[in-house]
Amino acid sequence: MNARAQAKYIRESPYKVRRVLDLVRGLPVDEAQAVLQFTNRKAATTIKKVLDSAVANAEHNFALDAEELFVAEAYADEGPTLKRWRPRARGRATQILKRTSHITIVVADEAAAVRGRKENS
């Protein structure tokens, strides 16, 4: 079984969020939480919240054991871009693009991963 959680319209560039998601993809949940706790990036706190939510969804909705879960998928899609203006010299202005992201984390139990590998073989 897979359980997922999403955070939408996060005010951080998807490029920066993906760098943190690459650290935890494929790890067991307890290791992923430890990595995020000591990652010195703004996105790490948001990703940790999404991961905790995905684990809670797995426990509550699918009755899965949290100790057997791993991060099956983790990705950040681009959300809407906020367009702002910065004043420049001689009465001109330049555009600033404030990017947002949608973070999705899917956790699965080890047994489902083993079953999936056997079916694909």
pLDDT tens digits for 41-75? 999 999 999 999 999 999 999 999 999 999 999 99
Check residue 121 and give its pLDDT.
63
Residues of the chain with pLDDT under 50: none
As a whole number of angstroms, the distance between CA 101 and CA 28 comes to 24
Helices (H), the chain: 14-24, 29-37, 42-62, 110-120
As a whole number of angstroms, the distance between CA 1 and CA 109 comes to 7
Grouping H, G, I as helix, E, B as strand and the rest as coil, residue 76 is strand
| Predicted model pTM | 0.89
| Domains detected in the chain | 2-120 (3.90.470.10)
Q: How far is CA 17 from the centre of its chain?
A: 7
Check residue 118 and give its pLDDT.
62
Closest CA to 4 of 78, 105, 96: 105
